[in-house]
Amino acid sequence: MHVTFSADDLAFQEEIRAFFRDEYPADIRAAREAGEEISPDMQTRWQKLLYEKGYAGINWPVEFGGTGWSHVQKYIYAREEGLANAPILVPFGLNMVGPVIYTYGSEEQKQRFLPDILASNTWWCQGYSEPGAGSDLASLKTRADLAGDHYVVNGTKTWTTLGQFADWIFILARTSSDVARRQEGISFMLIDMHSPGVTVKPIIMLDGKHEVNEIHFDNVEVPVNNLVGEEGKGWTYGKVLLQHERTNSSNTFRSEYRLRKLRDQVRQPVRGAAPLNEDRNFMRRLAAVEVELKGLEYIELRTLASVSSGKAPGAESSFLKLIGTEIQQKIDALYMDAAGYYALPYRPDATVGAGNETDSALRYFNFRKATIYAGSNEIQKNIIAKHVLGL
């Protein structure tokens, strides 16, 4: 695929570059450059700034506040955002539940939820995985039983990212067991996290951070108006959401940014040793990842073109998720190799430049999850085999 920018596209590119150069808040930029965790307040402030600039809802329809950008403009924005090392948007509202609501929700739901999602006035989390239902999501056990004008929800969701900050959660729950296929009888609904009976329990990751949670629902009453679309059609809606999540899992240009930083790092002598770029084996591996990343970029271009024409991302999203997450893990491994002994966990005295080499190990361990979330990479291979190869 050959990408040619028109005069308008080049003007747009300069506008976006100027924004990230001149309006990217200094404190957030500094935290990102130092590899520090972005606080919830910083995250919300950043997303609100994008909203005020008209940069939120990149793939949303214009009638719901979307940008109306072409696929080339979306590509340009994603590239400039990644190379600026800007914070990753919390995806659960803008990129996940928002598209489900504007596609399948009622007019009341659209008016009630979409403006606050777009403006980042509400924080959402995702309730899909369960202790016994991860990649095999159709085996979920959380139930939602109709009782008059509300559902009574009981069950547990796990690996709920940033659920400790969330105002709302969207879940898949079983509303009927009298079905021919396990994928039937599952519904998609929206739950206020402050509802009586909702309990959030932290799960501490290997890097010591409270990133994910287990969320318990004990006779939680959910108004029937919070059911999205038709009862029993949640599997269909959930698949659309997962396609968007997989598309956003590639992080192509953020990976490009990390490779650039690594190339700069390995040019420098460390503790009297020769620069790592003199190690031909290491540089061969780095170059191989760069080649893979360029191929991923063109897959992403095709996917953006498909989405911009009104289609939901299909098997392309599985390619992006599969290749993108494997590349992220390969880059993590390169950083670990570059740090050597000093990547051993919990060595706060081990530093190179402005960064902390211990972070290389912590990120390496944390992001082993990348090939599992949004549907494991083994599942993505099955999807590709079925929809692309016809197997």
Report helix, strand or coil for 168: strand
Quick one: CA torsion of 28, 34, 37, 38, rounded to 10 degrees? 0
Rounded Cα distance, 301 and 355, in Å: 32
Residue 341 to residue 329: CA distance in whole angstroms: 19
Q: Which residues make Cβ contacts (< 8 Å) with residue 250, sequence separation at least 6? A: 296, 300, 320, 321, 323, 324, 325
Task: Show the tokens assigned to 20.
Answer: 């990230």
> Which residues are CB-neighbours of 53 under 8 A, at least 6 positions away?
19, 23
Q: Identify whether the C-beta of residue 308 lies closer than 8 Å to the C-beta of residue 70.
A: yes
245 is catalytic: yes
Amino acid residing at 337: D
Q: Is 362 helix (H, G, I), strand (E, B) or coil?
A: helix
Which entry of 211, 245, 297, 357 is annotated as an active-site residue?
245
Residue 290: other Cβ atoms inside 10 A:
16
Vertex 378: Cα angle to 96 and 319 (nearest 5): 55
From residue 344, alpha-carbon distances to 24, 329, 330 in Å are 33, 17, 18
Nearest to 102 by CA among 59, 144, 51: 59
Whose tokens are 């990212």? That residue is 161
**Catalytically active residues, by annotation:** 245
